[in-house]
Amino acid sequence: MLGLVEIIFLYTTLAFILALAVPFNGVLVRLRANYNPKGLQLDAEGTAVPHTGPVVKTYFAMFRRVYRLEGIPGLFKGLMPTVIQTFAVTIFVILFVDTEKPRHSKYRAPDSGILGTLFYAILMLIISLPNTILTNRSVTTPVKLGYFNVMHALRVLLTPTELKKPWIIYLTPGLMAAQVLHILIIVLVLGPLRRWLIPEFSEASPTLEDVSVVRVVLYTVVAVVITALITPLEVIATRLSIQRNHASAEYNSVQQEVDGDAEPVEDYGGDEEVIGHEADPYLGLADCAKRVIHEEGVMALYRAWWLTFLGIWGNAFF
């Protein structure tokens, strides 16, 4: 059990990391959620018209666009749900996970054996999925959300049906499937290969004396293959997470209607939104993958793949 000084140091470090991570994660969510068709579209009369939304294909181009349109406050959208999830997961891992080196990340769960790690990862998915949805929607919405006005934020981010029946968000088409596949690849494939190739870094106090360069190179190859498998799942999960359930017919799947007696909302400046949206909802994981490839090209499923690779590779050593 950690002492008071260690706990204070831990949460101070987490606060510093979040101050850096939230803006970069928000840009990543926007980049992967951005709808950028490669061809012409048809209007209501069947006439071909060019796409009029933002054409942003790189991470740093999206970063500049967010800063230009929404400023510093826009870079910190999604801060509150991220803070809540991070601190809650940290407390859970410290108190309940029996391991010499407690850790939790997207690409490496606490080492508690394959079955234990798989159970932990699925449990954390069930607990954190609503928060992930709220985070991604708060990042991509053009509406300004206060940090402490919870009910107003929920009315903006969730449809009336989702507010009345919160469990519906678990039934978001394809989202749970994408997340579970992601977990299975990490826990059943990446984890065992990491422990086999570089077992030194699974110890509480790893030493570099016995580290084999050849094994590190082999693990790097494994990281490349895993990146190729899970980056599309991450892009698809991002698209599906911002897709609202049971939205009214006059709104598209990623816009939220505001009741007539609701409080007025304030948007980030101008009529120009940071990202473009697909009007027609995706029907599931396979439908999302097929339509993204057909409409935007296969490389749209690999946006910011290098960040996924760095996450996989770095989490093995640090």
Residue pLDDT, tens place only, 62-119: 999 999 999 999 999 999 999 888 887 777 766 766 555 555 567 877 777 788 889 9
pLDDT score, position 186: 94
- The CA distances from residue 238 to 25, 39, 70, 249, 268, in Å, are 12, 22, 21, 22, 22
Distance CA 216, CA 199 (A): 11
How many Cα atoms occupy the beta-carbon half-sphere of 135 within 13 Å? 24
pLDDT score, position 147: 83
**8 A C-beta contact, residue 227 and residue 185:** no
CB atoms within 10 A of CB 190: 22
Interior CA angle at 305 toward 16 and 200, to 5°? 65
Residue pLDDT, tens place only, 191-202: 999 988 888 776
Rama region for 147: left / alpha / beta (φ>0; ψ in -120 to 50; rest): alpha
Helix (H), strand (E) at residue 41: strand 41-42
**8 A C-beta contact, residue 55 and residue 61:** no
Categorize the per-residue pLDDT at 260 as very low, low, confident or very high, splitting at 50, 70 and 90.
very low
Residue pLDDT, tens place only, 200-216: 776 655 566 667 889 89
How many Cα atoms occupy the beta-carbon half-sphere of 297 within 13 Å? 9
Assessment of whether the complete model's pTM goes beyond 0.95? no
* Segments making up each domain of the chain, as ranges: 4-258+273-315
Determine the distance from the C-alpha atom of residue 223 to the mean position of all C-alpha atoms in its chain, rounded to a whole number.
19
Burial 211-224 (b: 16+ CB within 10 A, else e): eeeeeeeebeebbe
CATH number of 4-258+273-315: 1.50.40.10
